[in-house]
Amino acid sequence: MGKYQLNYSPNICLFCCPLKKLFLIVVFLVNIALHAQVRNMFDTIKYDFTKRGKFFVGLDGKNNIVGDLKVKMFGVQCGYLFNNRTSLYLGFYNTYGNNSYIVENNTAPQGKVDSNTVYATYGMGYFNFGIEYMFHNSRKWRLSVPIATGLGAGKYIRQSKSTLYENRYPGIVPIEFSINASYKLKWWLWVGGGLGTRISLSHSHEFNGPFYTFGLQIKTGTIIRKAREAYKEYQEMR
């Protein structure tokens, strides 16, 4: 008897076509949902700006990666919070206490340095203006998305014992996107952190990079309001 071999190979196209249609339908529905969410966010922000703002002051710290080097920054923010959801703020950030990192060490034995060892340091300072939208606001937790742009200057120092190279970059225009989370410690004090990235419209390859933040937000407006109320009660009791 002859040998017969049954070859069964399913037609992949029979599965691909329905999957492709399903994928396109899902993408279309997601696009509609995202468009509705974005439109709702802008409508909400417009509504928030019709309410009276509350003044706040905040301290902020950023740990950045710039040119593969760690850069610490400290900043202060002040602005107004509208309808307990949308805020506008001005800030100033500057580098501090940054260590020099070894970027070249070709002639020294492993684990040691010599006169040819090259160190590098980045520095940066800028003012920024931003808007922050709070998409979750519970009694203890707040989640928000800040977007900010700024103007400042930066520098890059590269040195060894015998050489010094310093390059300054005026006119840095950083744009920062991040997502933040804050936790309420006291009625007047919040602590928070976040993750984000920086894109510089000038000298982008030097100062682009990710960052994570940590900071405190002091409810100055609430403190002043409660102080006024306490003083008014004291006056009435006299």
Distance between CA atoms of residues 76 and 71, nearest Å: 17
Assess if residue 70 is contained within a domain. Answer: yes
Over its C-alpha atoms, the chain yields an Rg (Å, rounded) of: 27
Residue 224 has pLDDT above 70, yes or no: yes
One-letter amino acid at 155 equals K
Q: Considering the domain boundaries, does residue 134 fall inside one?
A: yes
- Name the band, by pLDDT with cuts 50, 70 and 90, for residue 28: low
Return the beta strands (E) in 100-224 as ranges. 101-104, 118-137, 141-159, 164-172, 174-186, 189-200, 209-218
Same domain for 28 and 144? Answer: no
222 C-beta neighbours (distance < 10 Å), count: 15
Rounded Cα–Cα distance for residues 104 and 67 (Å): 14
Q: What single-letter DSSP state applies at residue 236?
A: H
Residue 206 in domain: yes
On whether residue 106 sits in a domain, the answer given is no
> Could you report the per-residue pLDDT of 75-96, keeping only the tens digit for each?
999 999 999 899 999 999 998 8
Cβ atoms of residues 175 and 198 within 8 Å: yes
The verdict on 39 and 137 lying in the same domain is no
pLDDT of residue 216: 81
Residues 31, 64, single domain; the answer is no
Check whether residue 88 and residue 144 sit in a common domain.
yes
Looking at the structure, tell me whether residues 191 and 216 fall in a common domain. yes
Furthest-apart CA pair in the chain: how many Å? Answer: 117
State the chain's mean pLDDT as an integer.
82
- Whether 182 is in a domain gets the answer yes
User: Of the ranges 171-175, 224-228, 232-236, which is most confident?
Assistant: 171-175
Residue 117 within any structural domain of the chain = no
Structure tokens that stand for 188 in this block: 């007047």
Place of tokens 């002040």: 78
Does the pLDDT value for residue 9 go beyond 90? no
Per-residue pLDDT tens over the stretch 93-115: 998 867 788 888 888 888 788 88
Residue 138 forms part of a structural domain: yes
Domain limits at 23? 16-48
Statement to judge: residues 26 and 136 lie in one domain? no
Q: Are residues 44 and 69 in the same domain?
A: no
Residues 135 and 44 in one domain: no
**Tell me, what amino acid is at 238?**
R
- Unique residue bearing structure tokens 């301290």: 59
> Looking at the structure, do residues 129 and 44 belong to the same domain, yes or no?
no
CA distance to 16, 31, 212, per residue, from 12 (Å): 6, 28, 46
**89 and 23, same structural domain?**
no
Total number of domains in the chain: 2
Question: At residue 1, does pLDDT exceed 50?
Answer: no
Query: What are the start-end ranges of the H helices in 70-216?
Result: 204-207
Question: Is 160 domain-assigned?
Answer: no
pLDDT tens digit sequence for 122-164: 888 999 999 999 988 888 999 999 999 999 998 888 888 888 8
- Cα–Cα dist 114/28, whole Å: 61
With cut-offs at 50, 70 and 90, classify the pLDDT of residue 17. Answer: low
Q: At 84, which CATH number?
A: 2.40.160.20
84/185 Cα distance (integer angstroms)? 17
Do 198 and 222 fall within a single domain?
yes
Residues 196 and 215 in one domain: yes
pLDDT in tens, 160-218: 888 888 888 888 899 999 999 999 998 888 898 899 999 888 765 678 889 998 888 77
Distance of CA 83 to the CA centre of its chain: 22
